[in-house]
């Protein structure tokens, strides 16, 4: 059947179908091209964002690098400035020393120092002596004479020049330390006096002390229940003469050995509570400083288990009855 033979409705339907088909094809083609265009736009947008991120990261890196360089320059400048100030102060210090040189004749020993050094400890005798308030005479060499043994005055002057780490340069023998201690006391150098005493009387730690004990156990009854507690024992000779044992804990220790001695030691605030002392093995506390030490609830103190002759017992803590008996015994021994 030809077109002419078809009816009008059939022709119209065919034409509409063709138009619809062409429109669908165009629509699909447009969608495809639009999607391709959108994908291209997205890719370019991602590339731009990546480039921006990279640029931002590089900018931040360069900014950080610039700040670090700036900080280093400022630090170097500050260090250089501080070094210059320190050098300037050192030179002023040296010039000050050189402009105020003083010669000393200490018992025949000649020393040269400065007024700054001699006045460095305001409360000392030397600071008062060279304060300018007193008229001082000199010998034929122009040296100020001090009638003391000048053997160790280099240590005195070194301490006045710099009082840090001075203990590293002080004499090592007991005799020299005693001699220097007398001069420090004469010059009223309280800090140097303390340093010398600490060297002469070594400080003992709680850890070192614990190594002298052996651990043991004892039982006791509490409301019909037998309990165990840890105690310490000293079963070997223990000589702690002339040591600084202040504040250490000896509590619950049994002194079960002869030859245990704390003569002339510093035992201030030491804790001896609940210790056991035995008359057969008396512990020697003679001439020790026991100020504030705690001896409460101890056994054997009044039966000869401890020798307190010459000890300092200011504010030492004893059970009342024990304290009364000990004081009576000490008074009897001193007669």
Q: Which of 199, 220, 251 is the last residue of a domain?
A: 199
pLDDT of residue 241: 84
Q: Which residues, listed in sequence order, are joined to residue 291 by a DSSP beta bridge?
A: none
Check if the beta carbon of residue 331 is closer than 8 Å to that of residue 309: no
Separation CA 192–CA 183 (nearest Å): 10
- Cα(335)–Cα(309) distance, rounded to whole angstroms? 12
Question: Given pLDDT bands bounded at 50, 70 and 90, which one contains residue 217?
Answer: low
Task: Tell me whether residue 117 is in a domain.
Answer: yes
Confidence of residue 51 (pLDDT cuts 50, 70, 90): confident
Q: Which residue would you say has higher pLDDT here, 56 or 6?
A: 56
Claim to verify: residue 266 and residue 318 sit in the same structural domain: yes
Looking at the structure, do residues 180 and 264 belong to the same domain, yes or no? no
Residue 117 reports pLDDT greater than 50: yes
The answer on 314 and 251 residing in a single domain is yes
177 and 117 in a common domain: yes
Q: What is the pLDDT of residue 8?
A: 58
Q: What percent of the chain has pLDDT over 70?
A: 86
Shared domain check, 195 and 247:
no
**Integer Cα distance of 122 and 322 in angstroms:** 47
Closest CA to 305 of 253, 270, 266: 253
The DSSP output letter for 143 is: P
d(CA 52, CA 37): 22
Quick one: 246 and 320 in the same domain? yes
21-43 pLDDT, tens digit each: 777 888 888 788 888 888 888 88
Given 180, 199, 218, which residue is the final one in a domain? 199
- So what's the pLDDT on residue 5? 54
Cα-based distances in Å from 42 to 29, 38, 39, 46, 108: 20, 6, 5, 6, 100
pLDDT in tens, 224-278: 544 445 568 886 777 888 888 999 999 989 898 888 999 999 999 999 999 999 9
Asked if 220 and 132 sit in the same domain, the reply is no
* Domain presence at residue 216: yes
Residue 64 placed within a domain: no
Where among 179, 199, 219 does a domain terminate?
Answer: 199
What's the number of domains the chain is made of? Answer: 2
Query: Average model confidence (pLDDT) for the chain?
Result: 83
Question: Quick one: pLDDT at residue 263?
Answer: 92
Helix intervals (H) in 146-232: 153-161, 174-186, 190-200, 206-210
Beta-carbon-side half-sphere exposure of residue 304 (alpha carbons within 13 Å): 4
Domain shared by 229 and 286, yes or no: yes
Same domain, 125 and 181: yes
Give domain status of residue 86, yes or no. no
Q: How far apart are CA 301 and CA 95, in angstroms?
A: 65
**Model pLDDT for residues 126-154, shown as the tens digit of each residue:** 999 998 888 888 888 889 999 999 999 99
Q: 143 — alpha (psi -120 to 50), left (phi > 0) or beta?
A: beta
Helix%, strand%, coil% for the chain, nearest 5: 50, 15, 35
Each residue's pLDDT tens digit, 62-105: 888 888 888 888 888 888 888 878 777 765 655 554 457 899 99
Q: 195 lies in which domain range?
A: 109-199
Q: How far is CA 176 from CA 155, 179, 186, 312, in A?
A: 11, 5, 15, 26
Is residue 247 located within the same domain as residue 324? yes
pLDDT(223) > 60: no
219 contacts: CB under 8 Å, gap ≥ 6? 226, 227, 228, 229
CATH number at residue 117: 3.30.710.10
95 located within any domain: no
**Token pair belonging to 248:** 């250490």
Tell me: do 211 and 317 sit in the same domain.
yes
Residue 6 resides in a domain: no
Beta pairing partners, 114: 101
In a domain, 328, yes or no: yes
Residues 329 and 257 in one domain: yes
pTM score of the predicted model? 0.48
Task: Give domain status of residue 272, yes or no.
Answer: yes
């Amino acid at each position: 059947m030809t077109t002419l033979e078809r009816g009008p409705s059939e022709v119209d339907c065919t034409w509409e179908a063709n138009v619809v088909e062409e429109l669908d094809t165009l629509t699909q083609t447009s969608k495809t091209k639009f999607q391709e265009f959108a994908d291209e736009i997205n890719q370019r947008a991602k590339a731009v964002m990546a480039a921006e991120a990279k640029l931002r990261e590089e900018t931040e890196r360069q900014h950080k690098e610039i700040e670090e360089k700036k900080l280093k320059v400022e630090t170097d400048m500050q260090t250089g400035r501080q070094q210059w100030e320190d050098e300037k102060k050192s030179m002023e210090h040296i010039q000050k020393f050189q402009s105020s040189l003083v010669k000393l004749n200490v018992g025949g020993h000649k020393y040269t120092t400065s007024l700054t050094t001699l006045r460095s400890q305001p409360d000392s005798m030397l600071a008062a002596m060279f304060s300018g308030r007193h008229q001082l005479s000199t010998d034929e060499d122009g040296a100020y004479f001090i009638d003391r043994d000048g053997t160790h005055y280099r240590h005195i002057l070194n301490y006045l020049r710099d009082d840090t780490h001075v203990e590293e340069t002080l004499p090592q023998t007991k005799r020299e330390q005693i001699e220097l201690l007398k001069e420090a006391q004469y010059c009223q150098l309280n800090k140097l006096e303390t340093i010398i005493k600490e060297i002469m009387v070594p400080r003992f730690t709680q850890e070192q002390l614990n190594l002298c004990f052996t651990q043991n156990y004892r039982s006791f009854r509490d409301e019909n229940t037998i309990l165990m507690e840890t105690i310490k024992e000293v079963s070997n000779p223990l000589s702690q003469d002339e040591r600084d044992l202040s504040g250490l804990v000896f509590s619950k220790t049994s002194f079960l050995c002869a030859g245990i001695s704390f003569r002339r030691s510093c035992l201030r605030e030491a804790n001896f509570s609940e210790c056991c002392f035995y008359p057969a093995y008396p512990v020697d506390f003679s001439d020790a400083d026991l100020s504030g030490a705690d001896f409460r609830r101890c056994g054997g103190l009044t039966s000869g288990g401890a020798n307190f002759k010459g000890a300092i017992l200011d504010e030492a803590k004893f059970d009342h009855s024990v304290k009364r008996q000990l004081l009576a015994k000490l008074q009897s021994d001193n007669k």
